[in-house]
Structure formats: structure tokens, C-alpha cells
Amino acid sequence: LQRLLQRGYAWHNAKPRRYHRDGLALLVLPGVFHPGFFHSSGVLARYVATLDLRGRSFLELGAGTGRIALTAARAGAVVTASDIHPAAVENLRLNSTRNHLPVAVVESDLFAKLPGPFDVIAINPPYYPRTPRGWAEHAFYSGEEHAYFARLFAQLAPRVASGTEVLMVL
């Protein structure tokens, strides 16, 4: 069943797809994590929409299409969105423009090229313990023994200031 689901997702994700949710008009480019297929993106986006973010600095780390970053921008946050995947970076810029919402977009492996600290950091991390093979798999696979999390937490600690909120779906 898992192989069948993976093939179906790969087939669906092979061409650009339009996705509308919560007043956002997103385009999902091939190889970029589709925020509509998995509940984690929606859970985090709905929670972010409840926050008072006016004027607060906000980072979506591993943003993919930018659904969460755009939700924060619409709420008045000063938003930065990053991803390691070049197609996701292109997708972030495209969706920011399509929705007329300002988002600073950075191609970065975790915090390597990001300023900081931020008032709010939102992360929808990869969950599955396997080494990613190719860019698109970084959205799903966290490496053997979840190496992503060891790297994330080591880099996150110096980025967190007093009062920083870290939101993560696990």
C-alpha cells in the first residue's frame, strides 16, 4: 500500500497543480511538498491564523509552497520563508507574488543563510527515518535515526531569543 501511495503522489506531483485553501491561491510546482495531501500543513496554518502576529518577525523553516508563511503574512507578520529545495524557493516566490503578500524568501539548509532571531518560528518537519534521495524527498525523510532533528535542535538553540515561540507539528 505504501508503494502504491508513493507512486500516486509522484504521479500527481509531476506537474503544476493549483490549490486553494483559506483564501490563498497556491500553485504547487513539481517536486514541491503538496500542503493539501497531509493534515500537518493545515493544522499548523489554522493555528498560525489564530495568533496576533502584527509586526512580529516570523520564519517558516522548510516552507515548500509557503502556505504557513503566507498565512502569517496575511496576519501582518514580517515573514521570512526558507527551503533547501530550489524548486520550493521558486514556488515560495511565485505564491508570494500570486497572493500579493510580502515574504522574504531564502534558499537555506536549516538556518545556514538565515538572519535571526525571530519572534515566531514555524516548522513542519520531515518525519520518516530514511536518507532523502533527491530534493523532493527532503520534505518527507529526516535521515537515518532522524538526523535532521539533531541538526535542527543544535541550530535552533542560538536562534531562539527570550520570548521566541517555536511551533512544530510532530
In tens, the pLDDT along 107-125 reads 999 999 998 789 999 999 9
- In this prediction the pTM is 0.91
Scored b (16 or more CB within 10 A) or e, 139-170 reads bebbbeebebbeebeebbeebeeeebeebebe
Would you state the pLDDT for residue 125? Answer: 94
Q: Do residues 138 and 64 make contact, with C-beta atoms less than 8 angstroms apart? A: no
Among 7-11, 26-30, 63-67, 138-142, the range scoring the smallest mean pLDDT is 7-11
